[in-house]
Structure 1
Amino acid sequence: MSKTEKILWGLAIASFLVGIVGLIQRITGGHTVAAYGTYVPWGLWVTVYTTLVGISIGSFLVAALGDGFRLRALRPLSGIALLIALAALAGGLLAVWLDLGHPLRFWKLFFSTSFTSIMGWMAWFYTLYGILLLVLLYLKWTRPASPALPPLFGLGLVLAVIFGGAEGALFGVVSAQALWESALVPIRFLVEGAISGMAAVLFLAVLLGRLEPESGRFLRWTLVGLLLAGVVLEWAEYSTTIYAGIPAKVESLRIVLFGPFWWVFWIFQVGLGLAVPIVLLVLSGERTTWLGIAGGLLAFTSLSAKLNLVIPALVVPELEGLQMAFTGPGLSFDYFPTLSEWLLALWVASIAALIFLALYRLLPTERIWPAGS
């Protein structure tokens, strides 16, 4: 085990031990430990869920292109990418499960849901996708030359695109929330997922000494292109919103840009999540350290983009004066995650990290996915 791997294990275990306090508080205190309420029913945990699922989609894209479509530049990274995809999916589903009011009733999403429910369909797609990831890992371990791998990777890519778009549609079809209701939201989810997942693969590949020059060049310029595409989508969304002047949507956007937490957008999403990574990627050349920093920033700050989607739409009253019509516990449009929410989010992230590290130890990638194969 390398020194870097030992450090990662130490950080993951420390995060698990610290974060378990949040888990205990969630179990004993229910949702009373969270800052959301009647008007703001979703918060940090839903944001973590969407972020991790996006990372799973993007990292699986790397694995599918490398092993399923035999793209030479990505084949050396397909092993790490597949492990990230499974670990991130597990973490994301754990986060949303803990966010449920009655977690033990999750099975109702499978057997007591409407055929017109996007959330119900997503539950089935997540399950199929998770099973497929396990099958792919098993085949890569036992039969790395199996002819079934390419079509299974193709199927997984279809599932990832479907539930990635459906996850965006879960927000985009909510007409009551002006900031969410948009045909661009599902596309943004797919683009942002591709960015965060590829960035996570790049970051861990550099950290673990697995990045080859050809792979680095491919991910470098692909991420630059995806980031520019993300800028276009964001500009299209924001500019049309401002021009149309729909009050609720403009107010939500004003909160994103100039509200109490403006720094989440300008510092984390635009500065550390766009400007700095683009500069590092464009100017990095063969400097793997710069590529690793860029990947780490993109993966980490992907949370800010989801925060700026989920929260601002909920803190604007659907009806003018609603915040003054009723008063009482939970009847507030103010939201900032409590310490318990942050701790539980840290614990979820540590679980994803531990799953990745354990699989990385048990499934040696140099044997299953030899460099340059």
Structure 2
Amino acid sequence: MTVMQSTSRGPWISSARGLSAPGAIVWVLWLILTGLGLYGLYLRVQYGHILAGYGSYVPWGLWIGLYFLGVGISGGAFLLGGLGFILGLPGFSTRSELRIAISLSVAALIPSFLGVALDLGRTERLLNILAFPSFTSMMAFNAWMYNIFLVVAGLAWLISFKDHSTWLKPLLVAGCFFSILFPSQSGVFFEAVRTNAFWHSPILSVLFLASAVALGSVGLLFTRYMTNLSGKTGASQGQDADQAVGRLRVVAIFAIGTYLVFEFAEFSVAFWNPGAHSKSMIFLLFGDYWPVFWLLHIGLGALIPMALFLSRARALWPIASALAAIGFAAARMSVLVPGQIAGQIPGLQEAFQDPRLVYSYHPTLMEYLVGCLMLAVGIATFVVIQRLSDTIGQWTKQTA
């Protein structure tokens, strides 16, 4: 097995500023994303929803798709990192490795909340769902579940600095339970809409859970690989990271394959039994959204990553992880948008003529810019939590 070499001052370290080359690239990328994202936020605040592509007939767009993507990464990362630590698997068994998974999980969930907040017509009412919940609503149920999970993840992160705490593994078990629950619940959120035949499918929650495992594996693989290249780990930690990356690559292959199998099962039954959902299926597979499904999701986001993961070139695996994340973003949009374009009232679009009163959706520039802000917030959250982890970890060692 080839071990990714990592030294205190390897070839990736910049002698001028002490930054590795990957670290410098991440900082430049983050600055670009932040600049674009802040401009998008300005447009959203200044002009409201006027510049968005969604409207009255298709009220959920790119930001909600990215929200579900972040939820999947969050749940999958905590599940894999927590189970790996509980089982004592090499590459996952140390507390510092566990904290990477927790950091990624929280960093994926925070920008998801930002996307939902900016999507709301009255953003100031965001906290009402927590203050005045109705638990017969899937939205209220999910909102409370996310916040409980954040509390559990935060406690697990804090307790991980205590070497002999007996509370860590029970908290991780609880966190893993929520990590399975809330990605699946995202699918149930759509399944509960009985009037929408495209969404009302019992397999949708299974698809969301499979995608969460895939997203968690590729997210952890990417972060573990890039963290190891930063040159801040020792030789033994580099070997552990190497083992973790190898295991995550196998999980990613099987999870992506499982998702495609379930997706084929879902679409084959729906497509060959035409009904109320047939318009949505045609829109997705052969209509306006065919590039999103076939090119972004299946081609760029599934087949190419699978081929790269099957290769022995480890340097290609983080690239495959990034492509898979893009593919699952397209997969989220392939569930979200087609379910909204089939009108429930015949002739409604013809009765009212307005560019925003149409059964179609394509993201606008403002939506993409705010998506950049969500990504920048996620990167910043991960870096801040990791810096805190390093600082507190060093302090606890010195005071032990």
TM-score under structure 1 normalisation?
Answer: 0.92
Are the aligned partners of 1:68 and 1:149 in contact in 2 as well (CA < 8 Å)?
no
Distance of 1:212 and 1:149 partners within structure 2: 22
For 1:249, the aligned partner's letter is: H
Are the aligned partners of 1:252 and 1:312 in contact in 2 as well (CA < 8 Å)?
yes
**1:365, CA displacement in angstroms?**
9.5
Question: Do structure 1's residue 258 and structure 2's residue 283 form an aligned pair?
Answer: no
**1:8, CA displacement in angstroms?**
0.8
* Greater CA drift, 304-313 or 58-67: 58-67
For 1:98, the aligned partner's letter is: L
Are the aligned partners of 1:69 and 1:150 in contact in 2 as well (CA < 8 Å)?
no
Assess, with a 3 A threshold, how the Cα gap between structure 1 residues 147 and 100 changes in structure 2: closer, same or farther.
same
Question: Do structure 1's residue 302 and structure 2's residue 328 form an aligned pair?
Answer: yes
**1:298, CA displacement in angstroms?**
1.1
Partner of 1:79: 99
**1:192, CA displacement in angstroms?**
0.5
Are the aligned partners of 1:56 and 1:197 in contact in 2 as well (CA < 8 Å)?
yes
Question: Do structure 1's residue 326 and structure 2's residue 335 form an aligned pair?
Answer: no
Partner of 1:115: 135
Distance of 2:150 and 2:183 partners within structure 1: 14
Partner of 2:157: 137
TM-score under structure 2 normalisation?
Answer: 0.86
Structure with the largest fraction of helix: 1
Partner of 2:73: 55
Partner of 2:50: 32
Distance of 1:104 and 1:5 partners within structure 2: 36
For 2:387, the aligned partner's letter is: R
Partner of 2:88: 70
Instruction: Choose from 169, 178, 186 the match for 1:150.
Output: 169
For 1:129, the aligned partner's letter is: F
- 3-state SS of paired residue (2:179): helix
* Greater CA drift, 256-265 or 86-95: 256-265
> Structure 2 unaligned runs (5+)?
1-18, 229-237, 395-400
Q: What root-mean-square deviation, in Å, do the aligned CA atoms of Structure 1 and Structure 2 show?
A: 2.0
Question: Do structure 1's residue 348 and structure 2's residue 374 form an aligned pair?
Answer: yes
Q: Deviations over 1:213-266 (max 9, x none)?
A: 3223311222121122111110111011012211x3122111111112311111
Partner of 2:273: 244
Are the aligned partners of 1:9 and 1:357 in contact in 2 as well (CA < 8 Å)?
no
Partner of 1:222: 251
- 3-state SS of paired residue (1:72): coil
For 2:332, the aligned partner's letter is: K
Asked which structure has the greater CA Rg, the reply is: 2
Assess, with a 3 A threshold, how the Cα gap between structure 1 residues 144 and 324 changes in structure 2: closer, same or farther.
farther
Partner of 2:226: 207
Distance of 1:119 and 1:90 partners within structure 2: 17
Distance of 2:355 and 2:287 partners within structure 1: 24
Distance of 1:30 and 1:190 partners within structure 2: 34
Instruction: Choose from 22, 37, 50 the match for 1:4.
Output: 22
Instruction: Give the length in aligned residue pairs.
Output: 365
Instruction: Choose from 282, 288, 309 the match for 2:314.
Output: 288
Are the aligned partners of 1:45 and 1:96 in contact in 2 as well (CA < 8 Å)?
yes
Question: Do structure 1's residue 18 and structure 2's residue 36 form an aligned pair?
Answer: yes
Q: Deviations over 1:289-325 (max 9, x none)?
A: 1222221211232210001111111122123332212
Instruction: Choose from 169, 177, 188 the match for 2:196.
Output: 177
Are the aligned partners of 1:9 and 1:354 in contact in 2 as well (CA < 8 Å)?
no
Partner of 1:371: none
Assess, with a 3 A threshold, how the Cα gap between structure 1 residues 337 and 144 changes in structure 2: closer, same or farther.
farther
**1:5, CA displacement in angstroms?**
1.5
* Greater CA drift, 144-153 or 181-190: 144-153
Q: Percent identity?
A: 31
Question: Do structure 1's residue 167 and structure 2's residue 189 form an aligned pair?
Answer: no
For 1:81, the aligned partner's letter is: A
Distance of 1:279 and 1:58 partners within structure 2: 22
**1:188, CA displacement in angstroms?**
0.8
> Structure 1 unaligned runs (5+)?
369-373
Q: Deviations over 1:33-63 (max 9, x none)?
A: 2111110010011011001111111111122
Are the aligned partners of 1:169 and 1:185 in contact in 2 as well (CA < 8 Å)?
yes
For 2:57, the aligned partner's letter is: Y
4+ runs of 1 displaced by more than 6 Å?
Answer: none
**1:22, CA displacement in angstroms?**
1.0
Partner of 2:234: none
- 3-state SS of paired residue (1:40): coil
Distance of 1:193 and 1:145 partners within structure 2: 31
Distance of 2:116 and 2:252 partners within structure 1: 28
